[in-house]
Structure 1
């Protein structure tokens, strides 16, 4: 004869403390009681075991102790399932944050503003205390952050942009594309170069390499004041993808700048045009101020003397001829040359003092005078005047240096009248 579990005296789990078991065989002094809901509606037979008849007529029996084991195992599985659910929800949230950051990355081609926005977004979206972008590729610094000081630029509290020598940066990763977890002592050394103002130290962090297509652009430091926020056992797959996408964005921005350089060329000579040569001069002036190096400018003016029959259509070929002579004398990397007028050129000489600039001017003048342009029976003699000027303390902008070179040029013209 079977009876319902509603006859069980206790409605909750507990250990039996008396020496007599009201349930018959299968119970001991440590056997628990099960409530009807905990036993799942099973019935007890005369032996004290729980049993249930299946649809095919067979009887399934289980002892109370085994039933309790199954109950506890079920609770553990439910707890583990809840942990998996919470982890999945957290991962989905993190993934959505990465998607938002990816949208920011490919929103613009102007990397200086993008980098500042990106660092703040990463810090806020992931709830960390430090985000530092270390730039190692020389073109990134020169094009987008020419005024970057030695102590870095503090974008906002907890976010910086700084420079790091390529050899030093790559050494930290030993050729691996994976992030490197840093202990607190190494974090202090890494962030010690920054101009920190009241920022709490990071107690855990990692360094993310920014590399793509075998190009190394720098690294991104993510840090937290929580010692357990970044742990070596944590997965880094999403962070690795983030590093690749940031590096790809940097590569795209540099490629865009190079294409823009080509579009900013003078269509007749192929030299930098009026606007681009001024942009370059502004950049070189800032760098000269920052590094304490000299900077000089040459203002070149040409006069054509046609000994043939006056070929107006030869103006373009003559300008290209002179441009070739200028580029031959100043190969790429030694200076910048631009056309600023019909027969006027500007030559920028980084790291050159005024004395050296005058020597270059004399060399260019002699070369141009000795190299007339020839076309069929026409010979066009070229007279050249070159004014020179160097950056001085009282000069506040690029136009001041150009004006000084033009003043020197006007003095040469006046002396030849």
Structure 2
């Protein structure tokens, strides 16, 4: 008859092999993630499904807002994701800096770290994600079973998984950074022309499918050459960054703003008819010209913009090139009319 202790050892070995294979399957999914969305899905969806857990959360340290910027998140985050803008507060909430995996009840493990649990778990596992001596995030796993993550449980597999997850997270964020660099203007932080041209194709196609209007704005900084000649190119760069920031503050999350070239900017307004687009344009014009740009040496530079507006209405027969061309023509009408004003044209009309 088989010795009981040997049978227990064999059973434990078989159980560990199953657990290891499950972790390896998730690791492969994380390693193969083509972007952050797939990576998050691996943590939030695949991990609970494969490991018979109720919930999984990913919390990222985002001290300078870089992560939210490169991922394109504003106020609304996907389910299962949290961003901590003040990573030092994690230490306060957790009681100490987590250097290793923690297991136990939510109160014991998480301290004052609040998560929006659908159901408070009986036990949790806290996995710190470290890269190059820097805590880049946390993964929190929750189970209804109070014994699932007991404090005296071995953590070898989870520690290994945390190390692999941290490496994968670092890689996917670096890929997103490179992607963002290829699609954004380094001076203003707005999208570049390449990205805008790609998005206008997509948004116009979507507008046709849903029969919704779509509008485009072309903006030009008035007398920008004079600003450069009078105050220098460094001052000109400050003016352009200020213009971009003031414009960005008047747009929705679904709008697409880009530096189209030099001192010209383009904005795509999905699901926006001509009247509403003119209102948006006027808010932008008013905000940009509301007060001078103050240079580091105290000099004050007046700044205004001329704006052309074009709209595809119910027919939506225009090509992206036609929509842009009409906005550009309307912009030149605004400049000819004395600048610091708005001109517009709707589909089927002449600018």
Same fold (TM over 0.5): yes
Distance 1:129 1:163, change over 3 A: same
Say whether the 8 Å CA contact 1:135–1:141 is kept in structure 2.
no
Distance 1:260 1:302, change over 3 A: farther
Q: Deviation of residue 127 (structure 1)?
A: 1.1
2:70 counterpart (143, 146, 152): 143
Q: Give the distance between the partners of 1:258 and 1:175, measured in 2 at CA.
A: 27
Q: Give the distance between the partners of 2:95 and 2:26, measured in 1 at CA.
A: 24
Q: Give the distance between the partners of 2:233 and 2:192, measured in 1 at CA.
A: 12
Pair 1:110 & 2:35 matched: yes
Say whether the 8 Å CA contact 1:169–1:219 is kept in structure 2.
no
Distance 1:96 1:190, change over 3 A: farther
Q: Deviation of residue 80 (structure 1)?
A: 1.0
Say whether the 8 Å CA contact 2:123–2:146 is kept in structure 1.
yes
Q: Give the distance between the partners of 1:173 and 1:180, measured in 2 at CA.
A: 12
Q: Deviation of residue 340 (structure 1)?
A: 1.4
Pair 1:212 & 2:131 matched: yes
Instruction: Give TM-score scaled by structure 1 length.
Output: 0.51
Say whether the 8 Å CA contact 1:112–1:144 is kept in structure 2.
no
Q: Give the distance between the partners of 1:136 and 1:211, measured in 2 at CA.
A: 11
CA RMSD of aligned residues (A): 4.8
Post-superposition CA distance 1:237-275 (Å, at most 9, x none): 2212222222222221222222233433679x9995214
Pair 1:181 & 2:103 matched: yes
The secondary structure found in structure 2 opposite 1:220 is: strand
2:116 counterpart (194, 209, 225): 194
Q: Deviation of residue 182 (structure 1)?
A: 4.1
Alignment of 1:9-408 (within 5 A): 78-137=3-62, 138-144=65-71, 146=73, 149=76, 153-154=78-79, 160-165=80-85, 166-171=87-92, 172=94, 174-185=96-107, 193-194=115-116, 196=118, 200-264=119-183, 273-276=192-195, 299-300=219-220, 326-329=236-239, 335=245, 339-341=259-261, 345-346=264-265, 355-359=286-290, 386-387=305-306
| Residues paired across the two proteins, number | 266
Q: Give the distance between the partners of 1:168 and 1:125, measured in 2 at CA.
A: 32
Say whether the 8 Å CA contact 1:173–1:209 is kept in structure 2.
no
Post-superposition CA distance 1:136-194 (Å, at most 9, x none): 32333333361554xx644xxxxx22334522324427234202234244679768642
**Greater mean deviation of Cα atoms: 217-226 or 77-86:** 77-86
Asked which structure has the greater RCO (Cα within 8 Å, sep 6+), the reply is 2
Distance 1:216 1:298, change over 3 A: farther
Which has the larger Rg?
Answer: 1
Say whether the 8 Å CA contact 1:271–1:323 is kept in structure 2.
no
The secondary structure found in structure 1 opposite 2:337 is: helix
| Unmatched segments (≥5 aa) in structure 1 | 1-74, 155-159, 281-296, 306-317, 365-369, 371-383, 390-398
| Unmatched segments (≥5 aa) in structure 2 | 200-216, 249-256, 268-282, 296-300, 309-319, 340-351
Distance 1:345 1:215, change over 3 A: farther
The secondary structure found in structure 1 opposite 2:17 is: helix
Post-superposition CA distance 1:25-77 (Å, at most 9, x none): xxxxxxxxxxxxxxxxxxxxxxxxxxxxxxxxxxxxxxxxxxxxxxxxxx7x8
